Amino acid sequence: GENVEQHPSTLSVQEGDSAVIKCTYSDSASNYFPWYKQELGKGPQLIIDIRSNVGEKKDQRIAVTLNKTAKHFSLHITETQPEDSAVYFCAASKDTDKLIFGTGTRLQVFP
Amino acid sequence: EAGVAQSPRYKIIEKRQSVAFWCNPISGHATLYWYQQILGQGPKLLIQFQNNGVVDDSQLPKDRFSAERLKGVDSTLKIQPAKLEDSAVYLCASRSFLGASEQFFGPGTRLTVL
């Protein structure tokens, strides 16, 4: 079955710096790759997603890139702010259905 | 619009006891999911409903877990009897229809089994 690996498990950055989180998936049939942000005591919230027919997508300070050949996708956060501190999960699925999540990255942004 | 509602938010039980969780999805959302999130891990799908029918329950430990979605709206997830390894956050999510992208998650129920 599908397996999603996520790195790093923790990431500490200074406010204003960039943060990059990387994921690798195993099932070449996967075609939908969302990123979720989970704050303490809350459920995951979708922040950006990308489909396999697109190589890159950007939304303000957040961008996601996809390399289908290598089965890699990455989340890029620029100009980080303390409120970006949270746990970030990548996921992969076929046709937006059954999501397989990575193990999460705890991002800490220090003022 | 109101989000996905779950109750209770916290539950502490002893092993071998029973427990039930309730989920009210976003109004009009046809697809409902239950996930198990063990501390330090990503959510893992337990069961998926489309209206009141089960689409996927391949990851549900059916000897102790059961779920239903009567009338295609609210859903309950039950564990009977609970084991120590069931300690986790149980997340409910909903999606408007098959093919829509975003799954909306509730705040979860944190279960501790002693």
A32-77: per-residue pLDDT in tens? 999 999 999 999 999 999 998 889 999 999 999 999 999 999 999 9
Name the minimum distance, in Å, from the CA of A69 to any CA of chain B. Answer: 23
Per cent of chain B over pLDDT 70 is 97
Q: What is the pLDDT of residue A26?
A: 96
Find how far residue A15's CA is from the centre of its chain: 19
Position B98 pLDDT exceeds 70: no
With tokens 């109004």, the residue in question is B27
Residue type at A22 in one-letter notation:
K
Q: What is the pLDDT of residue B31?
A: 93
User: What is the Cβ-side half-sphere exposure of residue A5, based on CA atoms within 13 angstroms?
Assistant: 5
Distance CA B59, CA B33 (A): 12
**Hey, what are A73's tokens?**
């996708």
Task: Tell me the pLDDT of chain B averaged across its residues.
Answer: 94
Q: What residues of chain A have any CB closer than 8 angstroms to a CB in chain B? A: 4, 6, 32, 34, 36, 41-46, 49, 89, 91, 95-99, 101-104
Q: Is the peptide bond preceding residue B81 cis, with omega within 30 degrees of 0?
A: yes
Distance CA B75, CA B36 (A): 15
